[in-house]
Amino acid sequence: MFRFPAQLYPIADADSCDDVVTLVDAMLAAGVPLLQLRAKSATTRDLVDLARAVKARTDRAGAALIVNDRADVARLIGAAGVHLGQDDLPPAAARAVLGADAIIGFSTHDAGQLDAAVRDGVADYLAYGPIFPTRSKTNPDPTQSLAALAAVRARCPRPLVAIGGIAIETLPDVLAAGADAAAVIAAIARAPDPQAATRELLALARLTARRFPAGS
């Protein structure tokens, strides 16, 4: 069964920074063992080139790369897996593309979607949110809150990552609510020093997870 290698799940979003490859370098220098590449506005050709450049870096660092949305690109570049949204390829179809060993994540935005994904049983982990208001999506789904996160945690047997507006001030509350990991975009990409921000978030996530083990 898949387990998050760290309680911080950084997302390198090409639309949230000037140079996503430099951002990836900062994340890897801080020691992240897994990261997601997201480039929603990129053409397929540009995404493949970008994903290959990032994959070379994660390979050198011994980290795993998850590609957002595109199972075909993940397979083409040999990524560890894919993260899918509600409007993307269904998890079962992505599994057919990527094989049994790939990591498949799936986004859910309310309790009904999460329950359906649990019943489906294909995704290795589920994402839930946005927990807080976020600027990383043009039309974000309704905010779910920490109380909603705790409620779905109680009935989610899969590893669960919280996403949406999570910052260093709120990360402990997210993990205390039961998330196995916290996905972070802006708190790293928009920080004055992304490497230092990643390192600080990693350390805080580890410390908090020891106090509030997921599912406890």
Q: What are phi and psi of 123, to 5 degrees?
A: -65, 145
| Residue 3 falls in the annotated catalytic set | no
Q: Which whole-number Å values give the CA distances from 176 to 50, 54, 179, in the listed order?
A: 35, 32, 7
Residues 6+ apart with CB under 8 A from 176: 208, 211, 212
Catalytic residue among 38, 95, 153, 199: 38
| Residue 216 falls in the annotated catalytic set | no
Measure CA of the first residue to CA of the last residue in the chain; give whole Å. Answer: 18
Element (H, E) at 119: helix 111-120
Q: How many angstroms separate the CA atoms of 33 and 58, rounded?
A: 9
Position 21: which residue type?
A: V
Catalytic residue among 55, 70, 95, 107: 107
| Residue 211 falls in the annotated catalytic set | no
On the CB side of 36, CA atoms within 13 Å amount to: 28
Catalytic residue among 16, 52, 137, 145: 137
Active site residues: 38, 107, 137
